[in-house]
């Protein structure tokens, strides 16, 4: 007997992860059904997706609401707008799983709302755990909700842990490609352009995470994300540069044994694993060819040139609202860099200054996180406007 279709809400369906999730739905029409699609600005793509997948509801940013509503009026699809609507659609009875792929702090509230309604989460939006990991993981535990990682490194760790849940993790290694500026020095980084920073060697992703990969802040965010997902201390998490992006991460157990998960870099694999866990579904994804990769190499990260990793360790160690401040300052600094307002090296500098400036709160509530996010954004904005220099 075929199991019933999983009805999925895709938050951020027009993004890189959202579109790849829809590719998986297209390849598995008997297993998946789209219940909700959401996007902020890309109305035309959202309309196209809605017509193709016929969800029950879509949510779009306010500026595009009228346009989308008119375009879909002949279809049996509800159209909503606003942050509250995002929180409501994920709670609908007809939603079986929520794929959280909004970028940044903007994804926090809807993910919390989904957990509150007891919906399993396939989590791409790492910022949710960076900002409010304590609150989100406690709520998930209380509601008995599973959070399945979509981030490739965390999916790799999760896959390595299959059958090992009673065995203690000694440490994990998060692999990083090193981004487009691996091996460069601070002087070189001071003059890199937006176009250079947006050229990731191995992955095609949204603009924000691509810049985060170039500064290595992405790995910093992933350290904090891994801490919450797997209950690890900062000293149990090590970053290792692996330029080929074939080994997606590793777990070292107490007997010294290391398990790694590997494959070609393709986000569809971790997305699909999160959606169907614990089952592995047959796929036509390109297979790995050992002859094409005669050597897989590893090196230590250069934390002097890429201070973002250290900032993340510091935020994780001090905890409280500091990771939230780091995240907010980073979002503003990345936006300013993409707007040609600041230089590449100013990104971690803005983050560090904000971490030192914003008031520390040891055990923040959700309103505290929201206030810290706002305060850090304001501080970061004033720094980027002043064009601070290193």
- CB distance 380 to 328 below 8 Å: yes
Is residue 103 part of the contact set for ligand NAD (CB under 6 A)?
yes
Q: Which helix (H) or strand (E) holds 274?
A: helix 268-276
Interface with Mg ion includes 302 (CB under 5 A)? no
Other C-beta atoms within 10 Å of 163: how many?
A: 7
By CB under 6 A, the residues from 250 to 309 that bind ligand NAD are 267
User: Beta-carbon neighbour count of residue 183 at 10 Å?
Assistant: 11
- Residue 361: CB atoms within 10 A of its CB come to 17
Considering only the stretches 36-44, 139-147, 284-292, 347-355, report the one whose residues sit in contact with ligand NAD under the rule CB under 6 A: 36-44
Q: How far apart are CA 354 and CA 343, in angstroms?
A: 17
Closer residue to ligand NAD (CB): 8 or 209: 209
Residues in binding contact with ligand NAD, number by CB under 6 A: 26
Please choose, out of 10-18, 70-78, 131-139, 146-154, the segment that lies near Mg ion by the rule CB under 5 A: 146-154
The CB-of-317 to ligand NAD minimum distance in angstroms stands at: 22
CB nearer to Mg ion: give 240 or 388: 240
What is the three-class DSSP state of 201?
coil
Cα 133–chain centre separation:
13
40 binds ligand NAD (CB under 6 A): yes
Q: Decide which of ligand NAD, Mg ion, none touches 16; Cβ closer than 5 to 8 Å per partner kind.
A: ligand NAD
Assess 225 for contact with Mg ion (CB under 5 A).
no
Sole binder of Mg ion in the list 87, 104, 124, 151 (CB under 5 A): 151
Write out the two tokens for 99: 């794929």
Q: What are phi and psi of 281, to 5 degrees?
A: -100, 140
Which H or E element spans position 111? Answer: helix 108-116
User: Is 325 within 8 Å of 376 (Cβ atoms)?
Assistant: yes
Nearest to 315 by CA among 60, 180, 77, 131: 131
Q: Contact between 205 and ligand NAD (CB under 6 A)?
A: yes
> In terms of CB distance, is 106 or 264 closer to ligand NAD?
106
7, 33, 55, 151: which one binds ligand NAD (CB under 6 A): 151
65 part of the interface to ligand NAD, by CB under 6 A: no
Contact 273, 30 (CB under 8 A): no
Question: Pick from 267, 25, 8, 231: which is nearest to 134 by CA?
Answer: 231
Query: Least separation, in Å, of the C-beta of 197 and ligand NAD?
Result: 15
Using rule CB under 6 A, residue 18 touches ligand NAD: yes
Q: Which is nearer to Mg ion, 55 or 323 (CB)?
A: 323
Binding site for Mg ion (CB under 5 A): 151-153
Binding site for ligand NAD (CB under 6 A): 12-18, 39-42, 101-103, 106, 124-127, 151, 203, 205-206, 208-209, 267
């Amino acid at each position: 007997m075929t199991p019933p279709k999983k009805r999925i809400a895709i938050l951020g369906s027009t993004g890189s992860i959202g579109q790849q999730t829809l590719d998986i739905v297209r390849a598995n029409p008997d297993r998946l059904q789209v219940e909700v699609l959401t996007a902020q600005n890309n109305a035309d793509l959202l309309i196209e997706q809605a017509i193709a997948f016929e969800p029950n509801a879509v949510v779009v940013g306010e500026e595009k609401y009228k346009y989308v509503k008119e375009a879909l009026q002949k279809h049996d699809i509800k159209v909503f707008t606003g942050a509250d609507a995002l929180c409501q659609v994920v709670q609908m009875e007809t939603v079986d799983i929520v794929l959280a792929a909004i970028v940044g702090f903007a994804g926090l509230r809807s993910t919390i709302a989904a957990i509150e309604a007891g919906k399993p989460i396939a989590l791409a939006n790492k910022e949710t755990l960076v900002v409010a990991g304590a609150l989100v993981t406690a709520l998930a535990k209380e509601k008995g909700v599973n959070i399945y990682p979509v981030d490739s490194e965390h999916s790799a760790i999760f896959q390595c842990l299959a059958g090992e849940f009673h065995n203690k993790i000694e440490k994990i290694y998060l692999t990083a490609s090193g981004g487009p500026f691996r091996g460069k020095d601070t002087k070189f980084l001071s003059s890199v352009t937006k176009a250079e920073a947006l050229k990731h060697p191995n992955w095609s992703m949204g603009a924000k995470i691509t810049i985060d990969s170039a500064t290595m802040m992405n790995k910093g965010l992933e350290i904090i994300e891994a801490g919450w997902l797997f209950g690890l201390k900062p000293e149990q998490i090590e970053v290792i540069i692996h330029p080929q992006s074939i080994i997606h991460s590793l777990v070292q157990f107490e007997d010294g044994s290391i398990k790694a998960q590997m494959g070609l870099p393709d986000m569809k694999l971790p997305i699909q694993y999160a959606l169907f866990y614990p089952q592995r579904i047959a796929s036509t994804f390109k297979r790995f060819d050992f002859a094409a990769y005669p050597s897989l190499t590893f090196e230590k990260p250069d934390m002097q040139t890429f201070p973002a990793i250290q900032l993340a360790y510091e935020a994780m160690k001090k905890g409280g609202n500091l990771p939230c401040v780091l995240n907010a300052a980073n979002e503003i600094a990345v936006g300013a860099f993409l707007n040609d307002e600041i230089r590449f090296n100013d990104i971690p500098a803005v983050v560090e200054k904000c971490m030192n400036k914003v008031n520390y709160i040891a055990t923040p509530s959700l309103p505290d996180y929201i206030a810290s996010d706002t305060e850090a954004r304001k501080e970061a904005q004033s720094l980027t406007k002043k064009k601070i220099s290193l």
